[in-house]
Amino acid sequence: MHKIKIGTRASRLALWQAEFVASELKKIFPALEVELIHVHTTGDKILDAPLAKIGGKGLFTKELELQLARGEIDLAVHSLKDVPTDLPAGFKIAAVTRREQPFDAFVSEKFSAFDELPEGSIVGTSSLRRSAQLLKLRPDLRIKNLRGNVDTRLKKLDAGEFDAIILAATGLERLGYAARIRQLLTKIIPAAGQGALAIEVRSNDAEVAKLVRPLNDEETFSATAVEREFLREVGGSCQVPVGVFAKIDGGRLTVRALISSLDGKKFVAETLEVPVSEIDGLGKILARTLLDDGGREILAEMQA
């Protein structure tokens, strides 16, 4: 294969991600010609409403999948956390890159740590998962919706609209904003797949799947597969405050998960650790444990 077309959203972070994949492929296949195709997704166009109210994760992948289906691009690069757990027929994730920083970052011009926020502080986030866990820790906070790309969100913080905002740390690092991170919020369980990139291809395109296979990181692929299995089992999306994070270390996998009410007052959480050889079905087991321990009632109340 002499040339491939990579589909990507047009935001600066998405372009960084696509360019990273392109550069990694060029390292392996120096003669390969790579073209980036910019696609404006629905999620990028609607910026005045929370994702939970306008359709969730598929808003960032649908247009890219349409171009994949038409053969206008050969592969699409996504933040794995933005990819729905069930892909449309005809598509598959061919590779998941090595995960970078998985946690959320506390960003503020006024305060150096989350615990320093005064009572009633305004904190910006577009994520129900983040919002619920922030309120679980600090019910006094005022959570305000924050949409837009990373630069837009930082500008709103700098303009004084918020006392602090919460962003994925890896996105800040990739765009050269690591110095803006005041604190990593390790107590807040990340979104499934956070910190990793997914490469999506047509299911029947064996040539492109083989081309990107060297970019797959086995440990990240296995850990995020557990996370996504958990999310699929609980019916998780942008519309449900659910967090799940799995990590492989020394041949063992540890996974933390949480289902919460929107206000953080009701929640169930669990941590499991097993040998890597026993992770098959672990996401389902963890999901059913939390659902049986009260998660089902929490989700039912929200849907009602």
Strand order of the β-sheet with 197-202 is 33-39, 3-9, 75-79, 197-202, 91-96
- For residue 82, indicate whether it is catalytic: yes
- Would you say residue 54 has pLDDT above 70? no
- Residue 33, classed as helix, strand or coil, is strand
CATH architecture of 3-97+196-216: 3-Layer(aba) Sandwich (3.40)
For the chain, what is the mean pLDDT?
93
Do you know the residue count of the chain? 304
Span(s) in the chain for CATH 3.30.160.40: 231-303
The answer, as to whether pTM is greater than 0.85, is: yes
Catalytic residue among 82, 104, 163, 205: 82
Write out pLDDT tens, residues 262-283.
999 999 999 999 999 999 999 9
Amino acid in position 128 = L
Topology classification of domain 104-185: D-Maltodextrin-Binding Protein; domain 2 (3.40.190)
CATH of domain 231-303: 3.30.160.40
Write out pLDDT tens, residues 150-196.
999 999 999 999 999 999 999 999 999 999 999 999 999 999 999 99
Give pLDDT, residue 220: 98
The C-alpha atoms of residue 266 and residue 255 are separated, in whole angstroms, by 21
Span(s) in the chain for CATH 3.40.190.10: 3-97+196-216, 104-185
